[in-house]
A and B are shown apart, each in its own frame.
Chain A
Amino acid sequence: MDKLFTKQPSQNITSRRRFLKASAATTGGLVIGFNLTIGGRLATAQDAMAPVAAKGPNLNQPNAFLRIAEDGAVVVQVKHIEIGQGVLTSLPMLVAEELGCDWSKVRSELAPAAPVYSHTAFGMQITGGSSSVVNSWVQLRTVGAMARMMLVSTAASRWKVDAAKCRVANGMVIGPAGQKAAFGELADAAAMLPTPEKVALKSVKDFTLIGKPTKRIDAPAKVDGTAKFGLDITAKQIPNLHTALVAHAPIFGAKVKKFDASKVNGISGVTHVVQIESGVAVVAKSFWAAKNGRDALQIEWDLEGGSTADTAKMSKQYADLAKTPGVVAKKGNPDAVKGAVKSLVAEFELPYLAHAAMEPLNCTVSVAGDKCELWVGSQLQTLDAAAAARVAGVPVQNVKLNTMLAGGGFGRRTNLSSDYIVEAVEIAKKVGVPVKMVWTREDDMKGGSYRPMFAHRVEAGLDAANKIVGWNHTVVGQSLVAGTVFEGGFVKEGVDATSVEGIVDTPYDIPNMHTTLHTTKNGVPVLFLRAVGHTHTAFAMETTMDELAKLAGQDPVAFRRGYLAKQPRVLNTLNLAAEKANWGSSLPKGRARGVAVHESFGSVVAHVVEVSMEKGALKIHRIVSAIDCGLVVNPLTVTAQVESAIVYGMSAALYGKVSLNDGVVEQSNFDSYPVMRMTEMPKVEVYFVPAGEAPTGVGEPGMPPIAPAIANAVFALTGKRLRSLPLDLASLKA
């Protein structure tokens, strides 16, 4: 998926500008709305989206990215959802750099669903693919520059001077004779001007804000409890708001046969019990009443046709399938391995993973007449609004979707089925009162939309000079997009690009590499999870490279370098991590290092991990990371996101596993689905490879290489090769 998102918008967007309008908003001041068609978007993705995008919500929104109020406040509408990745800060930085405003006056707001807020490469409003800054890079700097030019023109004509002789600084226009006017006093008049035809953007060397460590705008509200997440909508904001919980089927695809609500009716606070498509909803005056009501429900399920997926059985099936060639994803020479002097076969298994974002899924809906309003943390507003319209039975332009802060996303809110949105709208429509539908942690964990289970089998070999001669790679797993609106864009000739990304486009110069794919089906809902296909492909690739290094009798870093001669970014990133970690230097007895490097979302990350065994348990002491993400917009954000991806990846490497027994998900909460805690945190150091004129992805690329780096360190320490995730640490004790 990364290739679809990270394609750089072409730099000539202003000439392709369709329209741009500035207007005095009802609130006064200068408002810049913007609608661009830019070059460089992929026809495949666009084609897939076209029907949806065309019918997308056309809301009565200000259509603005920027508002400058008379008091000088600069309000930036952020079209991407804030899920922790820092867009409420990094996107306004792009505007402010060109605008030349006083950064302390900048505020940011989450934009609602509207076509104007579409992803510039993807044609719909979506937050994914580590592309929020990337796709806004030209767009938002252009917005800032246009506003600046209009403010300068206004001041210049007021002073009767040449606009070219004026400059801006800290929210002021400064004239040739030292005249000064604050943006706020100019904003109303500036809004009357036509928008500039041509905009010249600053060059990198002139940046004063981009590249500077800049603290998060959203932090104060998140340390004093005032930040409003989706779950925090109350009757204060929406009168008569009720809470709804849904009793879901025990297996995916099962339906309600009948239910008995007689024990529910006596529970104080419960107002409605209604059957919906996916189960039975209990609506009440409070969460706790709804929960008690749901506990008292008796439901008989029709399990016929439900999923019988069983991960223990799938484990064997997938491993067997991997031994046979699948659909060719990238053709090489599968027979080349036969000529190897030394060879290896490596079989990998990776489980279903739940996103387990900190805020359990929820959606608040009010359906009144032919209008539907939602408050939801959505990473895919366009599809969610369209789904809401369909279920509510209202025209999509009558759907108002308010984007809420979300307690993590990790892809779960890039919701191709809009599952929990659909449920909430269905309930609200049925009961006729506004509802906040809440999934408990258990609902969230058992609710599917997992990173799919995958098996990989690699057969690779070396020649007499210890060079790779062939690499046959077979992948087995479900498609993320089959049957969804994304299918047309991602699946080509039977191959879902997200299943093999990170293999077929590996930066390593591996001769004769041959990759095939078996796409399985089993009724378990799957979805993008942070770093998508790279979450499993990097593990197979980087573990195999390590095994080959061992087979060749070479140092793992040196061996990798041998295949990166044409890849300076990857090479530099690997080298920087190795250098900062003192790769090759001696360690205290009982410690060892492991390394992995991977390219994804247009960026490269390398990790060096230092481990030991303490009292029979693996201890991870230190992680040294290097990232090349092009131009660093906000060093604080980039560092934080690499740290975050490491922790998320460590949880997956050490613990993450959703298993199904005859269709039933066996995990339900953080006791059965453990995640990283503070006690297990190693020291983490993050270094940037200085590079680039434009940014590339940041939120995800840190995750793929962490699991293989840990596994490779475990190998260096113990000589045991762990090829399945989560790592079987118990086996190390033996």
Chain B
Amino acid sequence: MVLFTVNGERISTNVNPSTPLLWFLRDNLQLTGTKYGCGMALCGACTVHVDGNPIRSCSTPLSAVAGKKITTIEVIGKTPVGKKVQEAWLAEDVVQCGYCQSGQIMSAAALLAKNKAPTDADIDVAMSGNICRCGTYNRVRAAIKVAASGKGSPAPAAAPAKKPAKA
């Protein structure tokens, strides 16, 4: 029997304690916002918070979260930081396919909860474990800065050229 809380709800389960938290969330609790990308702590798609710290749920067995508080993408918007991050993501029009974005947002929210004004280097450290095959990295970085500053900014648009350049 393992006991912990998920998004504020007390959970007790007889599922084999070696089961990764990711699959318990997805298959048993049907919280599918947390994604599977690699299963080896290489891509960050499965990032959730355990007692506020970002962890890779694909490589975290249930036994390791006994007695802990787990927060997933489904409720991160209820925290002030999570809400700011999600708003910044919309302001910067970050997402493409969207599959990596739960993990990106969970990593970003954990960063901003501890560091109100992260530098580029801080962002690199916090986000380098999150792969995005669609290549949204620069927008993720921009959105983190927007969330940190508390200011919305218009989504980045390409600057159209005034006229075709001449040879």
Contacts and interface: CB of A to CB of B under 8 A. Distances in A.
Q: Are A and B a genuine interacting pair, yes or no?
A: yes
Interface of A: 82-86, 213, 215-216, 218-229, 231-232, 234-236, 243, 268, 285-288, 356-360, 405-410, 440-441, 561, 571-572, 575-576, 578-580, 626, 632, 635-636, 638-640, 642-648, 651, 669-671, 675-679, 681, 683-691
A408 B43 CA distance: 15
Contact of A225 (B73, B132, B163): B73
A220 B164 contact: no
Contact of A360 (B37, B105, B123): B37
B134 A408 contact: yes
B167 to A, nearest CB: 6
Given A572-B164, A677-B131, A686-B158, 20 more contacts: A84-B98, A225-B32, A226-B33, A228-B32, A232-B26, A288-B27, A358-B134, A407-B35, A407-B98, A441-B39, A441-B40, A644-B96, A647-B135, A670-B42, A677-B128, A678-B127, A678-B128, A678-B137, A687-B161, A690-B164
Contacts of B57: none
Given A636-B93, A678-B130, A575 B166 contact: yes
B26 A358 contact: no
A215 B96 CA distance: 11
Contacts of B6: none
Contacts of B30: 234-236
7 contacts: A225-B102, A231-B35, A358-B134, A575-B164, A647-B134, A676-B135, A688-B158
Interface string B94-120: 111111111001000000000000000
Contacts of B77: 224
Interface residues of B, number: 68
Contacts of B31: 225
Given A83-B97, A234-B32, A636-B93, A681 B141 contact: yes
A282 to B, nearest CB: 15
B123 to A, nearest CB: 7
A227 B167 contact: no
A219 B134 CA distance: 14
Contacts of A639: 156-158
A12 B72 CA distance: 52
Contacts, number: 223
A224 B73 contact: yes
Contacts of B165: 572, 575-576, 578-579
B32 A288 contact: no
Nearest to B28: A286
Residue among A287, A676, A683 with max Cβ neighbours from chain B (10 Å): A287
A648 B137 CA distance: 12
Contact of B101 (A222, A286, A578, A626): A222
B106 to A, nearest CB: 9
A646 B135 contact: yes
Contacts of A356: 133
Contacts of B166: 575
Contacts of A357: 97, 99, 133
Closest 3 CB pairs of A and B: A225-B33, A647-B135, A407-B99
A225 B34 contact: yes
Given A85-B96, A222-B98, A690 B160 contact: yes
Nearest to B45: A358
B152 interface: no
Contacts of B51: none
Contact of B161 (A223, A408, A571, A688): A688
Interface of B: 16, 19-20, 23, 26-28, 30-40, 42-43, 45, 72-74, 77, 86, 89-90, 93-102, 105, 123-124, 127-128, 130-141, 154-161, 163-167
Contacts of A691: 164
Nearest to A288: B23
Given A224-B86, A243-B27, A678-B127, A408 B32 contact: no
A580 B94 CA distance: 24
Given A407-B35, A408-B99, A286 B16 contact: no
Contacts of A686: 158
A294 B157 CA distance: 48
Contacts of B158: 635, 638-639, 642, 686-688
B44 to A, nearest CB: 10
Contacts of A227: 98
A490 B164 CA distance: 35
A359 B161 CA distance: 36
Nearest to A407: B99
A287 B23 contact: yes
A83 B74 CA distance: 22
B73 to A, nearest CB: 4
A224 B137 contact: no
A408 B72 CA distance: 22
Nearest to A647: B135
A669 B42 CA distance: 8
Given A223-B101, A635-B158, A678-B140, A287 B26 contact: yes
A643 B35 contact: no
Contacts of A410: 133
B90 A223 contact: yes
Given A226-B33, A231-B36, A219 B89 contact: yes
Contacts of A687: 158-161
A219 B139 CA distance: 13
